[in-house]
Structure 1
Amino acid sequence: MLKVIAACGSGMGSSQLIKMKLEKVFKKLNIESSIYHTNVGDAKSQAQNYDVVVCSESLVSVFANVGKNVKVIGLKNLLSEKEITEKVEAALK
């Protein structure tokens, strides 16, 4: 099972939106996952326990030193299933 953390500045709206979009994308790709959403500070402290971190592109640098086994995906458009699908597929190759 793929462990994913969705992060945004405050941990409320944007991370919840990312989580909902990820659930759709993973279902389409037939990837079993567990997705947790939170604020960027909490996500940074827990990132090493996850396989993938998904956040807006502006927050990617926060996760620069979380560990080489953690994939960090930065999104330009948090609502774009197309972008999420493309970036998830590329990260998981």
Structure 2
Amino acid sequence: MVKVLTACGNGMGSSMVIKMKVENALRGLGQSDFTVNSCSVGEAKGLASGYDIVIASIHLVNELEGRTNGHIIGLDNLMDDAEIKEKLSQVL
């Protein structure tokens, strides 16, 4: 099972949108056994160690460095399905 955490500044809209896009990208990459959760970057600091992949905006990833043994993905464009799929494929 792949565990993914999506984070944004406040943990409201953006992280939920990223969550849905990540779920679609994972299905598109042939993954069926995964879980995706969303939260604020503040919450992610404490939760990141329990996830295989943590995804956030590129300007927030420095706050998450060293908080997980998994992969951290920084997105340039949170709405870009192709970027999300490409970056996920690199770490799966």
Normalised to the residue count of structure 1, the TM-score between the two structures is 0.93
Q: Secondary structure at the match of 1:21?
A: helix
5+ long unaligned stretches in structure 1: none
Which stretches in structure 2 are left out of the alignment for 5+ residues?
A: none
The aligned counterpart of 1:8 is 8
User: Partners of 2:22 and 2:34 in 1: how far apart?
Assistant: 9
Aligned Cα root-mean-square deviation (Å) = 0.8
Q: Which amino acid aligns with 2:27?
A: K
After TM superposition, where is structure 1 displaced by more than 4 Å over at least 4 residues in a row? none
Aligned length: 91
Cα separation, 1, equivalents of 2:41 and 2:67: 12
Q: Post-superposition shift, 1:30?
A: 1.5
Query: Which residue does the alignment assign to 1:34?
Result: 35
Stretch of structure 1 that moved more, 26-35 or 45-54: 26-35
TM alignment of 1:13-92, pairs within 5 A: 13-31=13-31, 32-67=33-68, 69-92=69-92
Per the TM alignment, residue 65 of structure 1 is displaced from its structure 2 partner at its CA by: 1.2
